[in-house]
Amino acid sequence: MPVQSLSQVLILLFATVLVLALARRIGMPAILGYLVVGIVLGPFAFAVLPNGPQTQAIAQIGVVFLLFTLGLEFSFPRMVAMRREVFGLGSAQTIVVGAAGALATHAIGVAWPNSIVVGGALAMCSTAIVLQQLGDQDELNRTHGRLSFAVLLFQDLAFVPLLALATVQTQGRPESGAALLLRLVALGLLALVAVLAIGRWLLRPLLYEIAHSRLRELFTLTALLIVLTAAWITQAVGLSMALGAFLAGMLLAETEYRHQIDAVIRPFRELLLGLFFVTVGMLLDLKILFGDFPRIVALLLLLVLGKAVLSALTTCAFGVDRFKALRTGLVLAGGGEFGVALLTLLARGPDLTAGRPTQLLLAVVVLGMIVSPVVIRYNKRIARLVLREAGPPSTAIEREQAATTELARREHVIVCGFGRVGGHLAHVLDSQGFEYLAIDLDPANVRSARQAGVPVVWGDCADEELLRNLGLDVATVVIITFADPAVALHVIRAIRRLRADVPVLVRTQDDSRLAELSAAGATEVVPETFEASLTLVSQALTLLQLPAAQVTRVVDTLRRQRYATLRTRSAAARLDPDDEETADQLRSVVLPPGGWAVGRRLEEIRARGAEVAFTAIRRQGITGREPAGETELREGDVVVIYGIPEALEHAEAVLLAG
């Protein structure tokens, strides 16, 4: 790597770390930090980083990975159930907002074809920014999140005819706009069929063979190959790369490999998606911004307010209450990368949109992308302020937060880590009548648990402020379930800095750092390998017909001696990674509007081959445990199912069938 390129990478990394740390400190969205880095280091400020086609291409891969991982959380039955939102609300919102933009553009003297393109560009929203910010806020599965996602999906499809029209207008191609559009649609359909065919008949057997090879590197490479191949197919025929990646994700969502694929793809996604946000910041021309600041600010306010109001009104027309409709409108109020692409294309043409007017619109759309994370972050507060709605918690998540705050004031157990061990422990505590609060950093675990009514919060267990908020001062016991002793040490030290007398029980995989954990303040340490060895000793002595009292004395002596007899210096073998694929798991399924299961009884669900345990049903914030077979399901119910991964996949497909 050339020295100059390495210097640019180092500057980018340093600036990103610094700005993201500052953004986290002041409570601003991480996306905003990336955008600020792009503005400062981009070609219109300090010009440290080039914004060439290669950088843009790499950054777009981040969006591809985002849509792929989102597709893994969906399935074709769920998408069929959402067809009204995608093609109904999505088309209505795009047409209404686009028509308003086209009329405004035509009113200043721009010809109709280019006015339509400009209107479509202004209607577009940033898929990456919206979905990433909603995901960070755990709002993707909320009503406004689901509706916003449906609109974004339709906009990905609407980009194709807009691109065809813009291409005809700017390049003077001999092919008419209608002919070009028909050709793109035909090629697009062929691409979709190709992606579906490959996914249906090739991916599952391919992944089966690779998974059984037990080569993690090969599995990771195969996952990357699948994502990029699907993106390449759709891009090659004029559709967006993100659409192909999303389809591939939906295909793999129906397989038993989706969780492992998500785990290997996520690190690439986070890195490249951050680069995408940086490149968005690079698009802002500071000379144009400061040279015509009042006009740009006025146009930006008009864009954001106009899109929010029109989107909210359109959503209301589909029977959504005004509070949720306004939140949907605020989420869709920003600009989008497709809009930037269309305006950039028009800027090369001979019409009145070329030159400074287009540059002003480009600045407005990019600024719309920059302010979008802030608007999305505070969409609930803004909606309440506008509608003057306040008072007691009115949504499920607010009721959960209020319940968590109230629980933290009473005596309770704090469980650090909500994986398999933490989940089993919490179940036992609940069955014995002990109240608890669990903390975990895996958003998927937290989301599933919260939907099931389990008091789990997202966060770092070593965060002292979080421990205070969760009532460490009144906690009766703290249990640390992480297998990694290094993580446990950080948590213990944070606890002891706040409270010295609370008992701390630590689970660890082996006894290699027992003394260090005890010295840090652990009251008791429970090593898995040691306890397993004691169980083997107990069983062996029992089979050798020693009296039960003598067996108990031997085991108790060994436990008191803390490895004086059984200590081993070698690290214990790690858990078999394939255990996750065969172990029973918990999953929450939200019933969408129009789903087959809505209005059906649980016994009817089982009759269709759903071989899982229905452990709970959550309806309007109230959780019912162990529901009876005659329980009738309703739209919006959160159905908690338990079983092996393959059975969970089939049961979810039955519940979400359209």
Confidence bin at 312 (pLDDT 50/70/90)? very high
Element (H, E) at 534: helix 528-543
Domain membership of residue 302 (yes or no) is yes
Residues 528 and 596 in one domain: no
Q: Give the structural domain span for 619.
A: 582-656
Residues 410 and 308 in one domain: no
Do residues 398 and 155 make contact, with C-beta atoms less than 8 angstroms apart? no
The highest-confidence range among 15-19, 431-435, 568-572, by mean pLDDT, is 15-19
pLDDT value at position 437? 92
Residues 359 and 422 in one domain: no
Which of 536, 540, 509 lies closest to 525, judged by CA?
509
Domain total in the chain:
3
Separation CA 51–CA 359 (nearest Å): 17
Residues 282 and 363 in one domain: yes
pLDDT value at position 32? 84
pLDDT value at position 348? 61
Residues 507 and 642 in one domain: no
Domain membership of residue 13 (yes or no) is no
pLDDT value at position 49? 78
Q: What DSSP string runs through 437-481?
A: EEEES-HHHHHHHHHTT--EEES-TT-HHHHHHTTGGG-SEEEE-
Residues 410 and 534 in one domain: yes
Domain membership of residue 448 (yes or no) is yes
What's the number of CA atoms in the CB half-sphere (13 Å) around residue 497?
Answer: 12
**What mean pLDDT is reported for the chain?**
80
Domain membership of residue 18 (yes or no) is no
Span 74-105, pLDDT tens digits = 666 666 777 888 889 999 999 999 999 999 98
Q: What dihedral do alpha carbons 455, 458, 462, 465 form, nearest 10°?
A: -80
CATH number assigned to the domain comprising residue 437: 3.40.50.720
Lowest mean pLDDT among 91-95, 114-118, 532-536: 532-536
pLDDT value at position 421? 83
Give me the mean pLDDT over the 351-367 stretch: 73
Domain membership of residue 211 (yes or no) is yes
pLDDT value at position 76? 66
Residues 345 and 430 in one domain: no
Separation CA 281–CA 285 (nearest Å): 9
pLDDT value at position 566? 36
List the beta bridge partners of residue 642. Answer: 586, 613
CATH number assigned to the domain comprising residue 325: 1.20.1530.20
Do residues 422 and 438 make contact, with C-beta atoms less than 8 angstroms apart? yes
Outline where 199-348 has alpha helix (H): 204-213, 216-236, 241-253, 258-282, 286-291, 293-316, 322-331, 337-346
For the cut 70, the answer to whether the pLDDT of residue 574 exceeds it is no
For the cut 80, the answer to whether the pLDDT of residue 370 exceeds it is yes
pLDDT value at position 464? 85
Q: Which amino acid is at 269?
A: R
Which of 177, 105, 124, 129 lies closest to 33, judged by CA?
129
Do residues 639 and 623 make contact, with C-beta atoms less than 8 angstroms apart? no
Separation CA 528–CA 498 (nearest Å): 28
The highest-confidence range among 5-9, 329-333, 444-448, 498-502, by mean pLDDT, is 329-333
Span 39-59, pLDDT tens digits = 888 888 888 877 677 777 777
Element (H, E) at 402: helix 396-408
pLDDT value at position 192? 66
Which of 124, 115, 132, 181 lies closest to 156, judged by CA?
124
pLDDT value at position 579? 43
Which of 319, 312, 293 lies closest to 383, judged by CA?
312
For residue 342, give Cα distances in angstroms to 118, 287, 463. 7, 22, 45
Element (H, E) at 79: helix 76-81
Q: What DSSP string runs through 600-628?
A: -BHHHHHHTT--SEEEEEEETTEEEES--
Confidence bin at 314 (pLDDT 50/70/90)? very high
Confidence bin at 571 (pLDDT 50/70/90)? very low
| Strand, helix or coil for residue 44 | coil
Separation CA 400–CA 412 (nearest Å): 17
Residues 496 and 543 in one domain: yes
Domain membership of residue 25 (yes or no) is no
pLDDT value at position 542? 77
For the cut 50, the answer to whether the pLDDT of residue 308 exceeds it is yes
pLDDT value at position 578? 40
pLDDT value at position 188? 65
Confidence bin at 382 (pLDDT 50/70/90)? very high
Domain membership of residue 43 (yes or no) is no
Give me the mean pLDDT over the 610-629 stretch: 81
Residues 335 and 356 in one domain: yes
pLDDT value at position 577? 36
Do residues 164 and 181 make contact, with C-beta atoms less than 8 angstroms apart? yes
CATH number assigned to the domain comprising residue 612: 3.30.70.1450
Do residues 640 and 615 make contact, with C-beta atoms less than 8 angstroms apart? yes
For residue 445, give Cα distances in angstroms to 330, 331, 338, 586. 28, 25, 33, 9
Span 439-462, pLDDT tens digits = 988 877 787 787 777 888 888 888
Q: Tell whether pTM > 0.85.
A: no
Lowest mean pLDDT among 5-19, 182-196, 333-347, 542-556: 182-196
Give me the mean pLDDT over the 506-518 stretch: 79
For the cut 80, the answer to whether the pLDDT of residue 392 exceeds it is no
- What are the residues whose beta carbons fall under 8 Å from the beta carbon of 279, sequence distance 6 or more? 38, 51, 55, 56, 59
Domain limit, last residue, from 387, 415, 439: 387
Which of 344, 311, 366 lies closest to 99, judged by CA?
311
The highest-confidence range among 180-184, 325-329, 380-384, by mean pLDDT, is 325-329
For the cut 70, the answer to whether the pLDDT of residue 150 exceeds it is yes
Which of 31, 585, 623, 616 lies closest to 258, judged by CA?
585
Residue 354 DSSP code: T
pLDDT value at position 563? 43
For the cut 90, the answer to whether the pLDDT of residue 339 exceeds it is no
Lowest mean pLDDT among 171-185, 207-221, 563-577, 598-612: 563-577
Confidence bin at 303 (pLDDT 50/70/90)? very high
Residues 501 and 534 in one domain: yes
Residues 469 and 360 in one domain: no
Residues 591 and 456 in one domain: no
For the cut 80, the answer to whether the pLDDT of residue 239 exceeds it is no
**Residue at token pair 């960070």:** 136
Domain membership of residue 9 (yes or no) is no
For the cut 50, the answer to whether the pLDDT of residue 352 exceeds it is no
For the cut 70, the answer to whether the pLDDT of residue 654 exceeds it is yes
Do residues 491 and 482 make contact, with C-beta atoms less than 8 angstroms apart? yes
Domain limit, last residue, from 332, 367, 387: 387
Give me the mean pLDDT over the 337-347 stretch: 80
Which of 333, 330, 329, 335 lies closest to 311, judged by CA?
329
For the cut 80, the answer to whether the pLDDT of residue 358 exceeds it is no
Q: What angle do CA 24, 49, 295 make, to 5 degrees?
A: 75
Which of 336, 149, 338, 333 lies closest to 246, judged by CA?
149
| Strand, helix or coil for residue 380 | helix
Give me the mean pLDDT over the 157-173 stretch: 72
Give me the mean pLDDT over the 183-196 stretch: 70
- Return the structure tokens found at 609: 């081959």
pLDDT value at position 301? 95
pLDDT value at position 546? 78
